[in-house]
Amino acid sequence: MVVKVSSAGRTFVLSDIDGTLVPHPFFSGLTNTQRAAYIERMLALFAREDFGVVTGRAEESFQRLFSDSNLKPCRPKFLGLEFAAVMLGRDEAYVTPKNFAPLNTLMRELAEATGARQDFASDEDLLTLMARGRIEGYLLEPKSRLAQVEWYFSDVRRQEAFGHFLREWLNPRLLDLPEITVQLFPTRVDLLERGFRPKWGFFERLPPGIFERLFSGYSRLVVLGDELYDSYMFRYVKTLQGGPFSRVECYSVGGPLPYADGTFATIAEALEQVEKWLQENPSSPSF
């Protein structure tokens, strides 16, 4: 007997992680333990067929989300990593070119200029320090087509001084590197391959027809995020309205964003609504 699963009105939810479904590892000031309840609820979503993730995390850092949990590591049906470069499904992967050479060189020179060695080997080292209440230093994190420099000093003057040093160091070099653009945040600088739009560009590089295949049976796409790059993603996914989705809705978390159709005031509110949307999905067989 063939059992047909009704797909009328099914919703696929595609979400950012940090700052959207889980308090941000750096900016929220919460420890892993304090974030555990959020992480646990989010991980439960990963096993679903109707939930996907697009995050700035690298795969290693994504996998570490499971380390404090009793849940078995699993890959969401749709997983975009590093803002960008990799799109993974359960059984397939599309990897866009890594190692944008001018960025790598610049990051190496910056590491030398700031004392030959960065203070943190990874964002997880930084989290460990934060959990102990000691936040001092900076992180140079090369990703596929962008590199991030983040810094954390308990002394406000050192905090500002590092930002000042970084701008002074970067400005003359960037004049000679027209292939790199800069995005400034209060305690973070992103260096991007020119023309690369985080959380947007990789969608365009996927094989044609992939959305139709991955999302056949879904009529509505809901996308959530909390910062500028998510807004790029909102702008892109709206082009999917009319095919493969008849409805695309985008929501920001914590404050308004361009291209968002609405805003959740808190992460808790967003998480609750995501769970509700997915519960509404018809999952029982129809005959």
Task: Catalog residues that contact Mg ion under the rule CB under 5 A.
Answer: 16, 18-19, 226
User: Cβ 155 to Mg ion, closest distance in Å?
Assistant: 27
User: Cβ 7 to Mg ion, closest distance in Å?
Assistant: 30
Cβ distance to Mg ion smaller for residue 19 or 163? 19
User: Cβ 21 to Mg ion, closest distance in Å?
Assistant: 9
How far apart, in Å, do the first and last CA atoms of the chain sit? 10
Cβ distance to Mg ion smaller for residue 169 or 185? 185
Cβ distance to Mg ion smaller for residue 16 or 193? 16
Q: Please, what is the Cα angle at 211 between 205 and 217, to 5 degrees? A: 175
Residue nearest to Mg ion (CB): 19
179-214 in b/e form (b: 16+ CB < 10 A) is ebeeeeeebbbbbbbeebbbbbbbbeeeeeebbeeb
Cβ distance to Mg ion smaller for residue 19 or 142? 19
Cβ distance to Mg ion smaller for residue 54 or 110? 54
Q: Would you list the DSSP string of 227-282?
A: SHHHHHHHHHHGGGBTTTBSEEEEEEESS--TT-SEEESSHHHHHHHHHHHHHHS-
User: Cβ 35 to Mg ion, closest distance in Å?
Assistant: 13
User: Cβ 107 to Mg ion, closest distance in Å?
Assistant: 22
Six token digits for residue 239: 């082009």
